[in-house]
Chain A
């Protein structure tokens, strides 16, 4: 089943086509990689899907529903979640406080229940706390629970951001360059981590990445972009062999 379908998407910035007539789909349960040189329009594509930008043309469907004009804050409620290239954590909040709000957006208590501290309010708070602890434990951050996010190491921050994105209980997660600035060992760990969360949370994943060995290793299918356009889409083997891709992008890295 197609979980996400993008049709003829287009976005201009001052006459430059950042995303030009892109169409693709993602099957439920697959890992869909997106690669391409800097400025190819990958992040713009994510911003379009997650509603930060509105496209100039084209449609986006999620589970058959048109989500093109949905305000961005609604997407986590539909089941789409994302991370950012430059990790936008809530820096001076603690690790726990980074996770809790993502869980609590789906809580239903209102402000009066909060002020009068009703039983159902306390139950919901307790539930959210327990779920946050589980997530934090899964990502190995239990000891750092009360530390501010900005005090964590780079790798820990990356894990925290993934944890926060997963706290909204998504079915589709958009991951933007998780391996930026990591060494080969860390990349390897990251690949294992992504495979693990995919199984545990039964996710569909769309991932932008520059690190070839990471993306080739984890993706089921890969879309290659350049100058806002799709060059080709296929399995990692097909992409590695494709002439246009090698010319446009992969050449030096595969040697």
Chain B
């Protein structure tokens, strides 16, 4: 990576963030949709905190914040993949490939954008949470760790989205992953405590990396983040990230050989 490559990644990242703000259809899934679901689920299932097995929390909103954030990063990763596929479909990637920059730079630029959008979504949900009475137990250091994990989630899930985009080159295919995002969410402890999940979901959620990531984001709010939980979250992110970025690199190589 040369200096120019870094500037290119930054410029492409800035482009993808601007793009999202200029097209409401891209912003809606990242911010609006998770916010609506957060509001409805918090009020609809709020009495859950009275269940005897529910971990001690200030309010159900405190518990739900992490779920909303992780949902936002998953959808940001999906949107980033769609945008990359659109770039391929309309030939914008040719512009990048005809320039003397690192081939992977165009993927990294997109990921940088997804990371920033995830960070912004994280800030949004912390602010919304605080306004509606959430209390973050670990204070400012907790907020910093949460934002770090949220940003890394965006990069990791963005990698998966980019891999599908590069492999298929079709926005409609990436868009088709949308329901899958919810399958993954429902099969994790994103919306409810692990011990209270029912059916097969309860078993799957124990092994779902998403559960570990969510708990890393949630614990600074409802209790206190331990090194163990933090380590598991980071390890899960590293796993998802390695898969996403590895598959992206393979798909890009294949695409370049076939001639885009």
Real binding pair: no
Residues of chain A touching chain B, judged by Cβ–Cβ distance below 8 Å, are: none
